[in-house]
Structure 1
Amino acid sequence: MSNMLAIGTSGLNAAQLALNTISNNISNSSTTGYSRESTVQTEQVGATIGNLTIGGGVNVTAVQRAYNQFLTTAMWTSNSGLQGSTTYNDLATTLNSTLSSSGNLQTSLDNFYTSFNTLAGSADSSSNRLAVLGSASSLASNFNTLAQQFDQQQSSINTQVAQTVDSINSTASSIAKLNQQIVQAGSGSSASNALLDQRDTLVNTLSGYLGVSTSFNTDGSINVFTNTGQSLVSGSNAYALSTGPNAYDATTTDVMDNTGTDITGKLSGGTLGALLTYRSNVLVPAQNQLGLAAVGLASSVNTQQSKGLDLNGQQGAAIFSVPSPGVSASSANQGSATVAASISDPSALTGSDYVLSYNGSQWNLATTAGQSVALTTNANGSLSAAGLTFNVSGTAQAGDSYKIEPTRNAASGISVSMTDPNGIAAAAALTTTASSSNTGSAAVSAITVTDPTHTNLLSSATVSFPTAGSYQVTDSSGNVLSSGSYSSGQAITANGWSLTLSGTPAAGDSFAVAANTSGLADNSNALSMAAMSGTGVLNSGKTSIVDAYANLTTQIGDAGSQASSDLTVQTALNNQAVSAQQSVSGVNLDQEASNMVQYQQAYQAAAHIISTAQTLFSSLLTAIQA
């Protein structure tokens, strides 16, 4: 009877523990991160009587949580992808909105080029000239505004990077503390289960900030690493990340590990990975492309200006000014060298940033992505590559490096440098006159300025043909500037200009070339300015400024579209991963209700066993007393 009483008591206790566990499941059915628990029961070894073994009841050996490491890890990975895609999409959407609400740069470009067409209709009109300067100012302002808004997003990303790193450190510290508590609590207890749930929730939160990988120790603690292996948590120790200025640019926030090593380029996944990837793959290229358009605009307009004469009879001065390429020395440099960069060929610019480094014997150039770029050493000691010229002064030490940003600040710094509307060079710089004694059929078809910087561009010159098959160019003093054989249609060059004839000259024919000082109301150069809206000035002369801006809007639009699509995919993947994990670890209230009825009946049955044992014992006592 004592055995029967013990068996009934063990069953009662087991049913009570199961009912408590079920009650806890039901109470936490809506608790984030909670894993369904169940009791683990084993048969208790009983006594042996003769050749018979009678069971000794039941033992509850553990309260275990429903858990699948593979499904949980998959959920963490999908959460990292979802949070990263959400952040990336938000940033791309903001950039697209910025582009559409910052003032229509496309319209400003169209208005600017159209103003030269209007000027060509009346080249000496002061109102038309003022309109050109007004449209130029509006265009520069739109460049400035858009660039400033790009800069604001850059600043916002810096803030978000710092905040996210703080959140990562706080979460990692909490995981380390939970590791310690879990080790102390031991496995199988309800307290341990609750701590494990809390830790899994924190790892899931951490995965939303940054892509992570994990490993487990035999004592139940977990190790957490970034996707590329930097340790964040090891047992009860947490290793904090930090933020600091980029080695070249103090306005850019980078991420360092606990040793101070810059790991910005090694981080991926989650909010932080998205911030860093978006900055390097979308925002910085957009800033550079916008700056490239500004450089191309200023260079092409100013160059064409210099090919004409203004109302004062002077060679056209610059309408726009843009900042020089940015050069930033690494904070780790040991030498005293300084580097100055200038743009020598705008058509060769790529929109890339570069790192110019010294290895102790020579300078090397590479894009910030690591692609090597060939450097040319010029006769004056300067270096050239990718449309840029570098002048180095001072002494560099091996390992010194400089970041070159050819166009990053051009859009924010472009401005109108011309204030006098009479300075607009609407007229052609040169005019030609055929000698009245010419006998051949040759006529000037075109004279173009090829080198507006030539000191003798506006000096008078004569092109003569000693024979029908030869030519010579002389200055006003009779000095021969160039000569040679001549064939029909051949370009004749001198003093920075190029002359092309139609027809055939006869021996003794000549043509005078002089500054167009008597034709200042001429509109030739104004028409050339207007035609530049479709003229290729970038990408080796293949891309116009209008096309360059259209390409930028397409580039940003594509980034936004891709981000939106990726968010849709990642949302679906995360939903699948969460659903799979919850199918194992989640609480099903219907199932819990069924289990409660089952264990309620078991409890009642165990209580009946105890009652029966008591009745039998009482009967035995009564029989003995009788």
Structure 2
Amino acid sequence: MASDLISIAQSGARTARQALDVTASNIANASSQGYVRRTVQLNEVVASGELSAVGNLSLSGVRLNAVIRNADAFRQSEVRRTGSDLARADAELSGLSNIESALEQSGLYDALVDFEAALNQLASDPVDRSLRAAALEAARGMASTFNLANAALAAAGDGVTFEAGADVAQANLLTGELAVLNTKLARSAAGSSDQAALLDRRDYLLGELSGKIGIHAEIAPDQTVTIRAGDASGPLMLDGSTATSLSLTSAADGTLSFDLGGSAVVPAAGSLAGHAQALDELADVRLRLDTLAMDVVTAANIAQSAGAALDGSAAPAMFTGTGAGDMALVISDGSLIATAPAGSPANSSDGSNLAALSAALTGSGVASGLNGLLFDVSAMVNGKTVTRDTLAAIADNANIALQAQAGVDLDEEAVNLVRFQQAFQASGRVMQVASDIFDTILGIR
């Protein structure tokens, strides 16, 4: 390369223009999601001397060596980790909040209290048919409320399962796109603008994927990424251009299990982990609700079997069912409520068996058990809210640290605009001086 003012100035102008392009790109993408600030790496250009002066070097200007992404792999990994934990907490809290709403809005506790109150009112006049009818309707309302609570919990579970299925599909979509990016990255030139754009997209997709399931990402020298589910020993999700599909299975009790290419996976982070944990807790709540429903059925039917109907006949069972979902009132007439003990004559005002029914309901702890269930769910929601808020603060701090290092600082870019503009103008001035010198030489007589 010739070492003359014009060629040196030309390289300076060209490089300054390229640096201005990079600066302009930073400014334009200051608010772009996933964009990482670029800087230019400039190198001096030197050329060998003439044949008569082998070994001598002559200065020949400047060139753009590489466009560098101002990225920090550790900070990016920390953002993915904290974001994955936050996504898990958000998903779990959302599921628990729906469970809490399903129980509270069903009015189950009030229905149980109303049934006990109706029985106490009937005890004041066991032969009063209006009080018997009121007690019968209270019993029917309580059974319906158990059904409603069970249906509401099932709907909450279906909603969580649907969200988990959507997240699995999204995780597979992200993994597939990362596989395509791996192919492009393997072919891209190191330090090029194209590679920088691909790396931005790669890191953005890794962040999105970690929000669905906890991952371990390994970056190769050619910038391609290998992804494992969980930690470094987990099953492969992505290896080169080969992506492994993630799938889920819903058990009879509504809990979820996950499979990755034939290997069972238990997510510890990400929204899928939160959905699975919420459904585990829902299964426990539904089991406790079924137990409470059966406690009511058992206590009422035992009391009925020990008493007599209003006409003195043996009283039939009051409820049927195997849980909260199919609990039902089977008597259709208030006169069949066994207020008197077995063997009592028709229209007996003896309410001792009714007192035994009330005592059985109280003694079985249905009301206290239901109150405990509501309290436990509410306590879980409150506890998970605190956890979620703590994780949100940690994730925010990690994001702030990353943005401080990799984000665009408009003040700094404004300084670079002036600096590179002045360099461009100075190079133009050098070319003008070179032209003036050349003209002067030509004008010598």
Give the TM-score, by structure 2 length: 0.92
Q: Is the Cα contact below 8 Å between 1:79 and 1:574 reproduced in 2?
A: yes
Against the structure 1 CA distance between its residues 202 and 51, is the aligned structure 2 distance closer, same or farther, given a 3 Å change threshold? closer
Match for residue 77 of structure 2 among 55, 73, 90: 73
| Aligned counterpart, 1:206 | 209
Measured in 2, the distance between the counterparts of 1:155 and 1:255 equals 17
Deviation at 1:271, TM superposition (A): 1.8
Q: Does the alignment pair 1:274 with 2:267?
A: no
CA distance in 2, matches of 1:15, 1:218: 30
Indicate the residue corresponding to 1:298 in structure 2. Answer: 297
- Residue correspondence of structure 1 range 314-329 to structure 2 within 5 A: 314-323=313-322
Distance 1:56 1:614 in 2: 17
Structure 2 distance, partners of 1:96, 1:251, is 17
Is it true that 1:595 corresponds to 2:416 in the alignment?
A: yes
Q: Is the 8 Å Cα contact of residues 239 and 258 (structure 1) preserved in structure 2?
A: yes
Q: 1:311–1:521: 8 Å Cα contact kept in structure 2?
A: no
Supply the AA of the counterpart residue of 2:358: A
Distance in 2 between residues matched to 1:575 and 1:41, nearest whole Å? 35
Structure 1 CA distance, aligned partners of 2:22 and 2:117? 79
Q: Structure 1: how far apart are the matches of 2:303 and 2:131? A: 18
User: Which position in structure 2 is the counterpart of 1:576?
Assistant: 397
CA shift for structure 1 position 46: 4.7
Task: Indicate the SS of the match to 2:164.
Answer: helix
Q: Cα distance, 1:258 vs. partner? A: 2.3
Say which SS state the counterpart of residue 587 (structure 1) adopts: coil
Match of 1:419 among 319, 332, 349: 332
Aligned to 1:521: 349
**Contact in 1 for aligned 2:186/2:222 (Cα 8 Å):** yes
Aligned partner letter, 1:594: V
Give per-residue Cα distances to partners, 1:290-324, cap 9 Å, x unaligned.
1111011111121222233333434443211122x
* Matched AA of 1:587: V
**Residues 254 and 279 in structure 2, CA contact (< 8 A), matched pair in contact too:** no
Cα gap change, 1:14 to 1:141, in 2 (>3 Å): same
1:115, 1:85 → 2: CA distance? 43
How far did residue 546 of structure 1 move?
Answer: 0.4
Query: Equivalent residue for 2:89?
Result: 85
One of 98, 102, 107 as aligned partner of 2:102: 98
Amino acid at match of 1:205: E
SS in structure 1 of the partner of residue 258 of structure 2 = strand
Q: CA deviation at 1:40?
A: 0.6
The corresponding residue for 1:130 is 133
- The yes-or-no answer on 1:58 pairing with 2:62 is yes
CA distance change for structure 1 residues 183 and 250 in 2, over 3 Å: closer, same or farther?
Answer: same
SS in 1 for 2:223: coil
Structure 1 Cα separation of the partners of residues 324 and 122 of structure 2: 26
1:552 corresponds to: 373
The separation in 2 between residues aligned to 1:610 and 1:595, in whole angstroms, is: 22
Higher percent of residues as strand: 1
Q: Deviations over 1:68-121 (max 9, x none)?
A: 00111111112212222222222222222222322x222211121122222222
- Tell me which amino acid in the other structure corresponds to 1:233: L
For residue 412 of structure 1, give the secondary structure of its aligned residue in structure 2.
Answer: coil
- Partners of 1:31 and 1:179 lie apart in 2 by 22
Please name the residue that 1:609 is paired with: 430
1:240 alignment counterpart: 245
Q: Take 1:145 and 1:50, find their aligned partners in 2: how far apart are those partners?
A: 94
> Which of these two proteins has the greater Rg computed from alpha carbons?
1
Match of 1:398 in 2: none
Which residue of 173, 178, 182 corresponds with 2:181? 178
- The answer on whether the counterparts of 1:46 and 1:57 sit within 8 Å (CA) in structure 2 is no
Alpha-carbon shift at residue 234 of structure 1 (Å) = 1.2
Give the corresponding residue for 2:362: 534
CA contact (8 A) 2:321 2:327 kept: yes
Kindly indicate whether residue 54 of structure 2 is the aligned counterpart of residue 141 of structure 1. Answer: no
1:190 and 2:18 matched: no
The separation in 1 between residues aligned to 2:151 and 2:54, in whole angstroms, is 94
Greater Cα offset, 116-125 or 572-581: 116-125
Distance 1:262 1:419, change over 3 A: farther
Aligned to 2:287: 288
Q: Is the contact between residue 3 and residue 59 of structure 2 (CA under 8 Å) also seen in structure 1?
A: no
Structure holding more helix per residue: 2
1:255 aligned counterpart, secondary structure: strand
> Residues of 2 paired with 1:51 and 1:243: CA distance?
68
Q: Percent identity?
A: 26
2:36 alignment partner, SS class: coil
1:144 deviates by: 0.5
Where do residues 444-523 of structure 1 align in structure 2 (5 Å cutoff)?
515-517=343-345, 520-523=348-351
Distance 1:618 1:108, change over 3 A: same
Q: Which amino acid aligns with 1:168?
A: A
Q: What is the CA-CA distance between 1:129 and the residue it aligns to? A: 2.0
Deviations 1:537-573 (A, max 9, x none): 2xxxxxx100011011111111221232222222212
Whether the 8 Å CA contact 2:16–2:420 is kept in 1: the answer is: yes
Alignment root-mean-square deviation, CA: 2.3
Shift of 1:54: 4.9
Q: 1:428 aligns with which of 335, 341, 356?
A: 341
1:117 aligns to 2:117 (yes or no): no
Q: Classify 1:551/1:596 alpha carbon distance in 2 versus 1 (closer, same or farther; 3 Å).
A: same
Distance in 2 separating the partners of 1:194 and 1:518: 90
Ranges in structure 1 where 5+ consecutive residues have no aligned partner:
324-409, 430-514, 538-543
Bigger RCO (CA 8 Å, 6+ sep): 2
Counterpart CA distance in 2 for 1:566 and 1:428 is 54
CA distance, structure 2, for counterparts of residue 52 and residue 607 of structure 1: 28
CA contact (8 A) 2:315 2:336 kept: yes
Moved more, 115-124 or 575-584: 115-124
- What SS class does the counterpart of residue 332 from structure 2 fall into? coil
